[in-house]
Amino acid sequence: MNGLHAEIRTRMLGDVERVPPSQRQKAHDLLAMAVALLCEDVEAGSPGTWDARKVAAARTMGHSCAADGWPLDKVLELLGRAGEETMAVLAAAPGTGPEQLRTLTETCNRLLRELLRGYQETELTPASPRSAAQEDARALLRGDAATDQGRFAQAYAVLAFRTVSPAGFAVPEFDDPAGGVLTVLCEHGGYALIPAGDEETALSRSTRIHASLPDATWAGVSWQKAGRVPAGRAEATDVVTAALAARRPPGCYLLGDVLVEYAVLTQRSVADLLVAKIEPITRNDVLLETLRALLTADGNRSKAAAGLIIHRSTLDYRLQRIEQLTGYDPTSVRHLHVLSTALTAHEAMTSPPPPLPMDEAVS
């Protein structure tokens, strides 16, 4: 599928170049997400394999396009072109059957539906006047607040989160006037600014608020002085990105929890090298499942074999194949760490963006 990815993106270069310079990075991100999802479902042979992360990520991209002021027709035009080119390339590929083309059509429709839902998501109670607390939250997140006049806490835990629960969440869960919590919320996520005098208090209060949210919620936390809340917002977002790329379960994360993943993902050249190393494995479902099982078992081969319900000798054969294809021995602690990091980089670069509302909440 790597050749399919490359050919489609090459065909789309002209479309991206016609996008205004300020929006080209977003166009690249949108295209990468679309192609990854389309090719993944075709390879799996089913358009119904989307999990909560995929759904939320597609909606988040819709959110982000709306926040950046993209007209909906331009977004749909770019996605439509991606679908057309994917269909053309796939139809011309040897061995492509009608079922694959049907799967691609259904996936295109699913992608458009989810992105549209994200594009159309609005803030809770948008018709109501914003309260002074909501305006304060926006000002802090944008860096426009006068933090030296005694109106704000000296420091905050910046909690950036997204839930993929169909029910969303209710505003009263954040009603905490005595605690001074400031929020900017939309239907499926937002930001909470939680007064905290130190990092320990920041994590403790953030964890309690996260616990009140639906189970399928990822959150990143950054503790910052009031004047550095915008930097905290960016860090919290990056933390969620890294946690999702590493396939961490829904939870409340600090930068230290995902430090290796964060470091790799912020160095694109390193991430590219790692992705190239792991690609042969990502094209083989059996070997990919085996590597993930070994990582889940912290390198314990007997435990991994039991989890996969296979004989130990079968596991060892698969691990040998992984070493042959990547040059890294998964039975070595050091090499397994490299493979784990490479797999994280692959997830981040080929999967959609994380399920987290970005600028739409503070624009």
Q: Residues 244-301: pLDDT tens digits? A: 666 778 889 988 887 766 766 666 666 777 778 888 898 888 999 999 999 989 899 9
Mean pLDDT in residue range 161-184: 64
137 and 245: one domain?
Answer: yes
Model pLDDT, residue 26: 74
278 lies in a domain? yes
Which CATH number covers residue 171? 3.30.70
357 lies in a domain? no
40 lies in a domain? yes
CA distances to 63, 66, 158, 331 from 76, rounded to whole Å, are: 14, 12, 33, 46
- For the chain, the domain total comes to 3
Model pLDDT, residue 87: 84
For residue 6, the one-letter residue type is A
Q: pLDDT tens for residues 46-69? A: 665 677 777 777 777 777 777 667
Nearest-angstrom CA–CA distance, 274 and 342? 5
User: Over 60: is that where the pLDDT of 158 sits?
Assistant: yes
231 lies in a domain? yes
User: Over 70: is that where the pLDDT of 339 sits?
Assistant: yes
> Which residues form the domain of 14?
2-120
251 and 142: one domain?
Answer: yes
Model pLDDT, residue 320: 94
10 and 112: one domain?
Answer: yes
User: Over 70: is that where the pLDDT of 209 sits?
Assistant: yes
Residue 84 banded pLDDT, cuts 50, 70, 90: confident
243 and 295: one domain?
Answer: no
Model pLDDT, residue 47: 60
